[in-house]
Amino acid sequence: MNKNLFILTFLLLLSCGIRSTDPSTSSKDSLKISKLEDGEEFNEFFEKFTTDSLFQIERIKFPFRVLWTTEDGETVHETAKDDWTHSTFYYEDSYASRQVDAYTQETKNYGDTIKLELRGVDNGIFVDYNFVRQKGKWILVSGKGFSN
């Protein structure tokens, strides 16, 4: 019985995320803990987000809303989880100089918000994707388009 109680207590402590308060813990270990508490790093998240379709679905706020602004006004386009198709957000620098649909892609960091900007080169492409860090995890929350 005591053995079962010990195992149950051990598992309970692990599931609660108990951390060592031992002063001999190295500062390197405490930096790892701090990084985990602050949340995931965007570039690491984005690499997985662009390559893993199941992970991508988990990290999008559905229904995914894109606000489209045109000469005729604004419309909201919603995509349900079941209708989402994997987007790689793949980009090469050569895309800025191609003959058709040339565009640039830039990431702007605003702390717990990241804006991925797609800007056309001599065309009407103008799209933003907004990522927000919620509870330490990056989530794609919305889009905005001004393309014509």
Q: Is the confidence at residue 129, as pLDDT, over 70?
A: yes
CATH number, span 40-145: 3.10.450.410
Hey, is 110 helix, strand or coil?
Answer: coil
Would you state the pLDDT for residue 72?
Answer: 87
pTM of the predicted model as reported, rounded to 2 decimal places: 0.71
Domain extents in the chain: 40-145
Rounded mean pLDDT of 113-122? 95
Would you state the pLDDT for residue 148?
Answer: 66
Which stretch of 22-31, 40-49, 105-114 has the lowest confidence by average pLDDT? 22-31
Please, what is the end-to-end C-alpha distance for the chain in angstroms? 72
Would you state the pLDDT for residue 25?
Answer: 37
Q: Bigger pLDDT: 135 or 10? A: 135
CA distances from 57 to 33, 103, 127, 133 (A): 27, 26, 20, 16
